[in-house]
Amino acid sequence: MHYDVFNGDADGILALVQLRLAEPKTSTLITGVKRDISLLDKVDVGNASSVTTLDVSMDKNQAGLEKLLSADVPVFYVDHHRASNIPQSTFLKTIINTSADVCTSLLINDYLKGAHHSWAIAAAYGDNLKAVAARHCALKGLSQNEANLLEQLGTYVNYNGYGRTTDDLHFHPADLFERLLGYESPEILFSNKSSLFYDLQAAYVTDMNKANSAQVLFDNDICKVVTLEDAAWSRRVSGVFGNDLANQSPDKAHGVLTQNLDGSYTVSVRAPLNNKQGADEICVQFPTGGGRAAAAGINALPEEQVETFITTLANYYKN
């Protein structure tokens, strides 16, 4: 039995769309909300014949990966997050690149030699790699309108991945993948006015309008930190709202805190777009933190550590 294990955001979903359009394969899908990243533990090692893993941190999946390799299960692992320890095994094939200007879908695009380039561009936009995505649009000779639609698609698919559980989402990531796989290219999706693209668009606009009233906890020339209430809509926008704030003020770092049931906060951190480094270094200082240089997060920041987080964020980028 083959397993496809992938992050439930735009990068993970659209990486797998590209791969399965180019290399169709019957598989068992393992995914979840964007922050559900300890996914290899969910693979049934005894029944696994092979595993593809896309856009999930190797650091957060070391134990699951070691179990698979110890059972001689071939693993194809493609990712752009921190990878402190890549096991040496003849059963492991990796494409790992932690550059701030790379995402998993772009790595898959290179692997497939551009076979489904438009999906990779949408994913890059979804990961807020706007300049990189724009360069790919130019290389492909796309019009501004075509580029805008791909940017919206990436944003909406990414937005769909944020939530406490999959009940918060408009589409389960596995269902969204399977529906998108039915389209050879995004352009077909855009031409169908009753497609899920337009359903997600309407939901996104509604939620983002609510986010514009977010409470500001801290704001100076270095960084801005806002907080959102404990609600499904706020959990859905927590990541894309952080991207939106970063795009508005590219010299600032940003933190979006969304309240959890226990009084702690889920945190999305965006490094300044003009200095895309350090987000992961900030977040790993807290027990449930992780991510990559340009964008990272903390799953459960205790309320008493909020001021410490703000100070850490501001001090990191002070110089």
Average pLDDT, the chain: 96
What percentage of the chain exceeds 90 in pLDDT? 94
d(CA 273, CA 256): 16
Q: What is the CA radius of gyration of the chain?
A: 19
**Sign of CA pseudo-dihedral 228, 230, 235, 237:** negative
Do the beta carbons of residue 271 and residue 295 sit within 8 Å?
Answer: yes
Distances (CA, A) of 247 to 151, 204, 242, 318: 13, 17, 9, 19
Task: Look at residue 139 and tell me whether its pLDDT is greater than 90.
Answer: yes
Q: Band the pLDDT of 37: cuts 50, 70, 90.
A: confident
Residue type (1 letter), 35? R
d(CA 249, CA 12): 27
Domains and CATH numbers, the chain: 2-201 (3.90.1640), 213-316 (3.10.310.30)
Task: Look at residue 35 and tell me whether its pLDDT is greater than 90.
Answer: no
Task: Look at residue 317 and tell me whether its pLDDT is greater than 80.
Answer: yes
Model-wide pTM > 0.95: no
Which pLDDT score, from 0 to 100, does residue 82 have?
82
| pLDDT tens-digit readout, 298-312 | 999 999 999 999 999
Place of tokens 């959890």: 260
Q: Band the pLDDT of 172: cuts 50, 70, 90.
A: very high
Angle value at C-alpha 270, between 269 and 272, nearest 5 degrees: 140
Q: How many residues does the chain have?
A: 319
| pLDDT tens-digit readout, 61-120 | 999 999 999 999 999 999 999 888 999 999 999 999 999 899 999 999 999 999 999 999
Mean pLDDT score, 308-318:
97
Mean pLDDT score, 21-36:
96
Q: Band the pLDDT of 41: cuts 50, 70, 90.
A: very high
Do the beta carbons of residue 183 and residue 189 sit within 8 Å?
Answer: yes
Mean pLDDT score, 183-200:
95
Mean pLDDT score, 112-130:
97
Task: Look at residue 319 and tell me whether its pLDDT is greater than 80.
Answer: no
Do the beta carbons of residue 150 and residue 121 sit within 8 Å?
Answer: yes
d(CA 121, CA 125): 6
As a whole number of Å, the end-to-end CA separation of the chain is 51
**H or E stretch including 53?**
strand 50-54
Task: Look at residue 137 and tell me whether its pLDDT is greater than 90.
Answer: yes
Which pLDDT score, from 0 to 100, does residue 169 have?
97
d(CA 13, CA 148): 20
CA 44 to chain centre: 25
